[in-house]
Amino acid sequence: MIYLENIGRYFLMLKSVFSRMTKWSMLRNLIFKEIDDLIIGSMGIVCFISFFVGGVVAIQTALNINNPLIPKYLVGFATRQSVILEFAPTFISIIMAGKVGSFITSSIGTMRVTEQIDALEVMGVNSLNYLVFPKIIALSLYPFVITISMFLGILGGWAASIYGGFSSSADFIQGLQIEFIPFHVTYAFLKTFIFAFILATIPSFYGFYMKGGALEVGKASTTSFVWTSVVIILLNYIITQLLLT
Amino acid sequence: MIEVNNIKKSFDGVEVLKGITTTFEKGKTNLIIGQSGSGKTVFLKTLLGLFKPDDGTILFDGKDYRTFTEEQKRDLRTEIGMVFQGSALFDSMTVEENVMFPMRMFSKKSKSEMQDRADFVLKRVKLFDAHHKYPAETSGGMQKRVAIARAIVMKPKYLFCDEPNSGLDPKTAIVIDNLIQEITEEYDITTVINTHDMNSVMEIGKKIIFLKNGHKAWEGTNKQIFKTDNKSVTDFVYSSDLFKKVREVYLKELED
């Protein structure tokens, strides 16, 4: 029953987020701040993880090819498919649920505990629009993060293949180009947009409606990470089923 | 002036406010006192519109809040200043940005006009060189003064304070009390203060409302509270030996 109640409250929250807009001059500054916190601040970890996981995907693929009849370009092909279809959009989103999601929940939760949200309400500010809308707009730039993740994942795979002696550069690049379906990129970015919305709103929901003190802020961050991840995984399944089958 | 008629509020079937009727007068510091759990905070938050009353009316200068359109409610909010117990300053903003926040949100003033107004109110609360500090870099007393400055920057008609001197040393608490009283009289504001502090009751309680178990058990002034024989009030206000002696001395002086 509590789950149904939370789902209802989540959609009511979304309705409030998009009503009674904050003054544009204030909103603009908030959006830039959120871009800095949520997008620029995540680039380091995304780049690091993407490069090395891309490398691991290439090594694992190469090590599992024992049959000499399987062409060497398959390493590049498998790396491209894994990175573009799943690793960059989904795996990075789960990592972002931990990094960005926890940050959003704890920052809004702390504002709740310290009565800063009450202060906004008393002043007549639509606190949900003020706090959540700039995050949604900032995270609409999330596909750029994923583009960089895709590039670095494939670059990591290429570097691992060449320097690990698993494949030649020409073979790897041939694998990247072979049977390329542009719709896969569209599918990946469509997923990314939806995940960006989830990353902005579910952690905000858990931060905004939390009750209690500092300990509950920590608990809310954990719960928000769990539910953001669950929703991303479920939506990933549904979107894949709808678009690729 | 704020008139409250028969306000009731329940949470999960538990009645917290059981029909409170009173008036908060303009240009006076109106104090709400009572034990923890007596319904003070719920009462204050209901007056502020953060909780919707189950029954009863709240009239702001004769106008019923329930009949207000959304736009009228928003206009009313710009006429309300609030000082929260923990100050509730925005962590990510400097002192000056905190004070300018309501103006940036709701006024059409130019940047220089906003700056001048912020400088004026910060000087008014005796903060001269904290403009560019973040709340975390200031003391509890300074944070309270910033909160007061933010509350009065839009020239409110109504000022609400929730435990304004909790967590402050006695000297700073008196400074904050006096500041609130001065501002109330200077700008002719209707001020409502929720407090536990008996010094505040004695010093600035121009009108005092005592709540007990969600009821208004007594109301009067800081002079009348010395003379009252209402047991609930005397048990609460004169629970310490010090205040018992203060009361005895005061009553003796009156007799002499």
Q: How far is A97 from chain B (nearest CA, A)?
A: 23
- Residue closest to B237 by CA, chosen among B204, B207, B210, B203: B210
Interchain CB contact of B74 with A (< 8 Å): yes
Enclosing domain of residue B99 = 2-216
Nearest by CB to B88, which of A25, A118, A125? Answer: A118
CATH code of the domain containing B207:
3.40.50.300
CA gap B194, A236 in Å, rounded: 51
- Say yes or no for a CB contact (<8 Å) between A123 and B77: yes
Cβ contacts of B78 on chain A, cutoff 8 Å: 123-124
Contacts with A17 (C-beta within 8 Å, 6 or more apart), sequence order? A128, A129, A132, A133, A136, A201
pLDDT in tens, B184-198: 988 899 999 998 888
- Say yes or no for a CB contact (<8 Å) between A115 and B84: yes
Cβ contacts of B160 on chain A, cutoff 8 Å: 122
CA gap B221, B207 in Å, rounded: 5
Q: What is the DSSP string of chain B?
A: -EEEEEEEEEETTEEEEEEEEEEE-TTSEEEEEE-TTSSHHHHHHHHHTSS--SEEEEEETTEEGGG--HHHHHHHHHTEEEE-TT----TTS-HHHHHHHHHHHH----HHHHHHHHHHHHHHTT--S-TT--GGGS-HHHHHHHHHHHHHTT--SEEEEESTTTTS-HHHHHHHHHHHHHHHHHHT-EEEEE---HHHHHHH-SEEEEEETTEEEEEE-TTHHHH---HHHHHHHT-SHHHHHHHHHHHHHHH-
pLDDT in tens, A140-150: 999 999 999 99
B224 within some domain: no
* Residue B201's pLDDT band (cuts 50, 70, 90): confident
Tokens representing residue B3 in the block? 């008139």
pLDDT in tens, A198-221: 999 999 999 999 998 889 999 999
* Residue B124 in this model has a pLDDT that exceeds 80: yes
* Residue A129 in this model has a pLDDT that exceeds 90: yes
Please tell me the predicted confidence (pLDDT) of residue B238.
82
CA gap B235, B201 in Å, rounded: 15
* Residue B37's pLDDT band (cuts 50, 70, 90): confident
Number of folded domains that form chain B: 1
Please tell me the predicted confidence (pLDDT) of residue A190.
95
Amino acid, res. B124: R
Which range of A135-144, B62-71, B117-126 scores highest in mean pLDDT? It is: A135-144
CA gap A76, A79 in Å, rounded: 5
Cβ contacts of B73 on chain A, cutoff 8 Å: 124
B241 within some domain: no
* Residue B108's pLDDT band (cuts 50, 70, 90): confident
For A161, B169, B201, B229, B246, the CA distances from B243, given in Å and listed in that order, are 83, 18, 11, 15, 5
* Residue B17 in this model has a pLDDT that exceeds 90: yes
Cα torsion for B22, B24, B29, B35, to the nearest 10°?
Answer: 30
Interchain CB contact of B11 with A (< 8 Å): no
Would you tell me which residues 177-206 of chain B have a C-beta closer than 8 angstroms to some C-beta of chain A?
A: none
Please tell me the predicted confidence (pLDDT) of residue A245.
83
Please tell me the predicted confidence (pLDDT) of residue A198.
97
Please tell me the predicted confidence (pLDDT) of residue A133.
97
Q: What is the DSSP string of chain A?
A: -HHHHHHHHHHHHHHHHTSSPPPHHHHHHHHHHHIIIIIIHHHHHHHHHHHHHHHHHHHHHHHT---TTS-TTHHHHHHHHIIIIIIIIIIHHHHHIIIIIHHHHHHHHHHHHTTHHHHHHHHT--HHHHHHHHHHHHHTTHHHHHHHHHHHHHHHHHHHHHHTTSS-HHHHHHHHHTT--HHHHHHHHHHHHHHHHHHHHHHHHHHHT--SSHHHHHHHHHHHHHHHHHHHHHHHHHHHHHHH-
B251 within some domain: no
* Averaged pLDDT for residues B74-93: 89
Please state the ipTM of this predicted complex: 0.84
What's the pTM value of the predicted model, to 2 decimals? 0.87
B119 within some domain: yes
* Averaged pLDDT for residues A105-119: 94
* Residue B9 in this model has a pLDDT that exceeds 90: yes
Nearest by CB to A116, which of B50, B80, B88? Answer: B88
Please tell me the predicted confidence (pLDDT) of residue A1.
77
Amino acid, res. A110: T
B233 within some domain: no
